[in-house]
Every structure is written in C-alpha cells, then in structure tokens.
Amino acid sequence: MFSYLRDRFTSHLRERSRRRARLVSKDGRCNIEFGNVEQSRFVFLIDIWTTILDLRWRYKMTIFISAFLGSWFLFGLLWYVVAYIHKDLPEFNPSINHTPCVENINGLTSAFLFSLETQVTIGYGFRCVTEQCATAIFLLIFQSILGVIINSFMCGAILAKISRSKNRAKTITFSKNAVISKRGGKLCLLIRVANLRKSLLIGSHIYGKLLKTTITPEGETIILDQVNIEFVVDAGNENLFFISPLTIYHIIDKNSPFFHMAAETLLQQDFELVVFLDGTVEATSATCQVRTSYIPEEVLWGYRFAPIVSKTKEGKYRVDFQNFSKTVAVETPHCAFCLYNEKEAKAKEKKGYDNPGFVLSEVSETSDTKM
C-alpha cells in the first residue's frame, strides 16, 4: 500500500513538473514572469485603462466598490467639516434664525448620507444645500463633476471587460492531442479545432510556433527559440468558413522541424508547439486570438481523428462532439525520412523502360589461343 501511494505521489510530482515546463497552457494562458524590471511600476499607472482591464475580477470589483465608498466617505467628511466650520451642528446650539449651509446635517452619518445622495443624484429632498455659503455650492459642483467621472470610468471598465473578445475565445476549442499520420500521400501533423457558436469568426487565420532550445553555430544557447509552423486547411488557411469543426494540418517535409523526428524518438524531444487562431468576432467586429499548445506527450504518432460530422435523415448536418478528440490508430511510417526515401525509390523504378524487341543471346566463349 505504501509503495502504491509513493508511486502515485512520484507520478503526480512528475506530472506537475512537466506541466510547469510549458510556456502556454491548454487554455491559452502564458506561464511567464518578469524579473528585475528597471522601469518603475508607476509606468503601469500611466496606462491605467489597460491596467484596470487586465486585472482579475476580484481585484476589479474591489477597486470598483472602494472607489465609490471612498469618494462618498471623503466628501462626507468634507460636508461635515463645512457644517462644523459654519456651526450648523446641533452641538453648537444654533439660533432659530440660523440658516445652515446644508439643511438637516446633524453629524457624520447624515453628512455621509448627503454625500451619497449628491454623488448618485438620488435627491430625496430632505437634505439640501442653501445659498448661505459659497463653499457648500462649490463643493456640491465639484463632487457632482467628480462623481460623473468616477461613474463613467468604473462602469466603462466593467462593461469593457465583459465585452472583451477574450471571452469569445473561450468558445473556440482545440483537440486535446495532435496526431501524425498520412494525408494525401504525405506525412502530416493534424490538429482539430471547433467553433462552439453558430456565429462565425470573420477573416480567421491559423498559424503555429515551435518553441525549443537551440544552440547556434557560435555556441550560443537560445531558450524558447521560435520556428514558424505553417498550417494548411483544405479550403485554404485564409478566411476560413468556420461553421463546423476543421482539421488543420502541417506537412512534414524536408523544411519542417519535425522531419528528423521519428515515432521512437518523439517522446525524447524537447519542444512545445503553440497554435494560434486569429479572427474577428462577427457580432462586435472586435479581433480575438485563441491559443493552445502541445508538448511531445500530447502528439500521437500513427493516429487520425475519428469522424465527427454526419448528415441526418432530415437533411441536417450534425456535429458529434463526443468524438471531437477521439483518435483512431492507422498505419503510418515511423519517420518522414523513410516515407520520402520510399517515394524516391519508387520514382527511380519508374524511370526504367522495357524493350520488348530486345533478346538476350548467349555467346559461347572458346579459347583459340595457340602456343
């Protein structure tokens, strides 16, 4: 029992370490951090709009609530100070003929309520500013203007985050694994992608980056070196008609970084394939990008994807997402080099020509040498 738990714990730690190694998670988040940044963090306050939008919801809602509560309490203190200086509070025992700056402010609580009513323009009519002092009128104008600014900024930030195209990207899904098999007589790496909404992505474009560690001829080690990976769709990789799941594929030819890999050595490789899908949301005309990644353990050699689209008796097309990431084993060359060598050998065989009129005659050799 102890050995079983130890093996499970060891495999769990190995799985965690392997997951930490990837730069892009399966849902598209980037696993990277910046250290020793020389620029001050105040540069992020210059672009405060982007900073607010990039915050997580819990931090954004904390700022949203704090901004309103803080402004209400701050102006509540200012209204209390105005009433205190003008001696409008009951503790000063004002005379019957005394006209306060703000009617019915009896303490800090009533000053806070008046600040809230002023900034959100509730206007119950019980507390109001009089024409007795210019300070109260100026403070009323200043709070009204500042309240509109705070309301516009914070509500706009909430609306912008809700309507960001990043949320649209969550309805675009990639297959759990990539597969390598023959397609059209060529060895290809295939990935399946699907749009879970009926609304289209306009002008969609798919491409990939292979991240690996390389050593230059000068001896320099480059971590996360990026190599372009061209993906192709049968209908073209530009302006995709993305209404049903598509299978994108990369042709493993002599220019491909996968050309020298084989089925036996694939798991020994150290790379990460990042796939991107860019498009424009049809409903909002906002651009969005979907990302995912595949490590060697998630690339299956010798498999293809199971069929997913069928046609019903009523003439409708049905997509069965139960088979979306399902794979089927197929006969596949164990390396691209072997496939192309086999093709070259067959091509050389076809270059020979048979001559039906050619007859091989045997010549008897006699020795006529005389001594």
Reported confidence tier of residue 319, pLDDT bands at 50, 70, 90: confident
Question: Is-above-0.85 flag for pTM?
Answer: no
Inter-residue contact 108 to 91 (CB < 8 Å):
no
Inter-residue contact 229 to 293 (CB < 8 Å):
no
Mean pLDDT value across residues 6-26: 63
Inter-residue contact 306 to 327 (CB < 8 Å):
yes
Q: Give SS3 for 245.
A: coil
Low-confidence winner among 89-98, 200-209, 230-239, 317-326 (lowest mean pLDDT): 230-239
**pLDDT score recorded for residue 359:** 53
State the chain's mean pLDDT as an integer: 82
Inter-residue contact 115 to 84 (CB < 8 Å):
no
> How many whole angstroms separate alpha carbon 25 and alpha carbon 33?
14
User: Which of 102, 62, 51 lies closest to 81, judged by CA?
Assistant: 102
Domain 48-163 has CATH 1.10.287.70: yes
Cα separations (Å) of 291 from 83, 179, 185, 191, 288? 59, 18, 29, 13, 10
> How many whole angstroms separate alpha carbon 219 and alpha carbon 87?
81
**pLDDT score recorded for residue 294:** 93
- Comparison of pLDDT for 197 and 369, the residue scoring more: 197
Inter-residue contact 208 to 232 (CB < 8 Å):
no
Please report where in the chains the tokens 């819990």 appear, as a residue.
Answer: 58
Output the six-digit token pair for 56.
């997580």
**pLDDT score recorded for residue 286:** 81
> How many whole angstroms separate alpha carbon 37 and alpha carbon 41?
9
User: Which of 10, 149, 143 lies closest to 79, judged by CA?
Assistant: 143
Cβ neighbours for 337, distance < 8 A, ≥ 6 positions apart: 259, 260, 262
Q: Please report, as a single letter, which amino acid is at residue 32.
A: I
From the DSSP assignment, how many helices (H) and strands (E) are in the chain? 8, 13
Is the pLDDT confidence value at 223 over 70? yes
Mean pLDDT value across residues 83-98: 88
Of all residues in the chain, the percent with pLDDT exceeding 70 is 82
Instruction: Break the chain into its structural domains and give their ranges.
Output: 48-163, 168-348
Q: Which residues of 317-330 are buried (b: 16+ CB within 10 A; e: fewer)?
A: eeeeeebbbbbeee
Superfamily of domain 168-348: G protein-activated inward rectifier potassium channel 1 (2.60.40.1400)
